């Protein structure tokens, strides 16, 4: 079945450091891929998405590229801020509107000032 | 993007009582809604999938008589936790999908505390 594997946290970085959170997936078809972010005490927000191979999703300085050959969708940011401290979830969907979202376990990110 | 409103954001109830959580899509027709539960410092666990006008499909291990889901219209789904117990205390999040976009949109979540 479909699944998502992402690096375990917590990840602790200093402000302005480079961030990579790894995410790989297994899927039978051609899924859409997402990164969701959950700030402390809040629900989930869509951070970025990519719907086909080689697409790059980007938002708020974060980027992720849909790599079909390596079945990966790693999240990157060149210079993190304290306000980026949150839990990040990699997710996939087969893309049909009724299809459920399958999440990774989440990676907690702490940014130190 | 599309907006999903979940209410209440926090609720405290006594053990043995029932609690209803509402999930509304404000600007699109949500043909499918999902309910998730999140334990502290853990990932999201899908509880059930509901399609408008149909019975919900529950994931394995989720008690359908305890977590009643109703999706009576294209803009509203409700989750009722019946005879709540302290172990039901958790963060519940709904999401809705519909239209042509592949992603789901999430409500703000409900923090349920059963005392």
The 8-class DSSP code of residue B20 comes to E
Burial of B11 (0-12, 13-18, 19+ CB in 10 A): middle
A44 to chain B: closest CA residue: B106
d(CA B49, CA B34): 5
pLDDT of residue B55: 86
d(CA B101, CA B28): 11
Q: What is the DSSP string of A67-101?
A: BTTTTB--EEESS--GGG-EEEEEEEE-SSTTPPP
Residue A77 to residues A20, A81, B26, B62, Cα–Cα distance (Å): 7, 10, 32, 38
Q: Is residue B44 within 8 angstroms of chain A, CB to CB?
A: yes
How big is chain B, counted in residues? 115
A88 to chain B: closest CA residue: B43
Contact B113, B12 (CB under 8 A): yes
Tell me the percentage of chain B whose pLDDT exceeds 90: 52
CB pairs under 8 A between A and B: 59
CA within 13 Å, CB half, B61: 4
pLDDT tens track for B58-93: 999 999 999 999 988 889 999 999 999 999 999 999
Which region among A51-60, A82-91, B42-51, B70-79 has the lowest average model confidence (pLDDT)? B42-51
Mean confidence (pLDDT) of chain B: 89
Which has the higher per-residue pLDDT, B49 or A43?
A: B49
Respond yes or no on whether the N-terminal peptide bond of residue A10 is cis (omega within 30° of 0). Answer: yes
d(CA B52, CA B40): 30
Name every chain B residue with its beta carbon within 8 A of the beta carbon of A51: 102
pLDDT of residue A103: 87
Partners of B46 in beta bridges: B36
Name every chain B residue with its beta carbon within 8 A of the beta carbon of A36: 106
Which of A36, A98, A105 has the CB atom closest to B51's CB atom?
Answer: A98
Task: Say if residue A61's pLDDT is above 60.
Answer: yes
Task: Say if residue A64's pLDDT is above 60.
Answer: yes
How big is chain A, counted in residues? 113
Contact partners, residue B42, CB within 8 Å, separation at least 6:
A105, A106
Q: Which helix (H) or strand (E) holds B13?
A: strand B10-13
Which has the higher per-residue pLDDT, A86 or B104?
A: A86
Q: How far is A42 from chain B (nearest CA, A)?
A: 6
Q: Is residue B82 within 8 angstroms of chain A, CB to CB?
A: no
Interface of A with B (CB under 8 A): 32, 34, 36, 42-46, 49, 51, 89, 93, 95, 97-98, 100-101, 103-106, 108
The two three-digit tokens of residue A67, written as one number: 């790599």
Task: Say if residue B17's pLDDT is above 60.
Answer: yes
């Amino acid at each position: 079945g479909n699944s998502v594997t992402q690096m375990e946290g917590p990840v602790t970085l200093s402000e302005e450091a480079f961030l990579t959170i790894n995410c790989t997936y297994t899927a039978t078809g051609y899924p859409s891929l997402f990164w969701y972010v959950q700030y402390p005490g809040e629900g989930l927000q869509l951070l970025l998405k990519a719907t086909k191979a080689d697409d790059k999703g980007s938002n708020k300085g974060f980027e992720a590229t849909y790599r079909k050959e390596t079945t990966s969708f790693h999240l990157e940011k060149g210079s993190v801020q304290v306000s980026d401290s949150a839990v990040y979830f990699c997710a996939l969907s087969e893309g049909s509107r009724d299809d459920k979202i399958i999440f990774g376990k989440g990676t907690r990110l702490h940014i130190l000032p | 993007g599309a907006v999903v409103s979940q209410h209440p954001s926090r609720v405290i109830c006594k053990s043995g009582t029932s609690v209803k959580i509402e999930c509304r899509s404000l600007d699109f027709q949500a043909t499918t809604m999902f309910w998730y539960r999140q334990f502290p410092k853990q990932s999201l666990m899908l509880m059930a999938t509901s399609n408008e006008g149909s019975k919900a499909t529950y994931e394995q291990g989720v008690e359908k008589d305890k977590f009643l889901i109703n999706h009576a219209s294209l803009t509203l789904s409700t989750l009722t936790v019946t005879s709540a117990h302290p172990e039901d205390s958790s963060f519940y999040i709904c999401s809705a999908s519909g239209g042509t976009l592949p992603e789901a949109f999430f409500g703000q979540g409900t923090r349920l505390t059963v005392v």
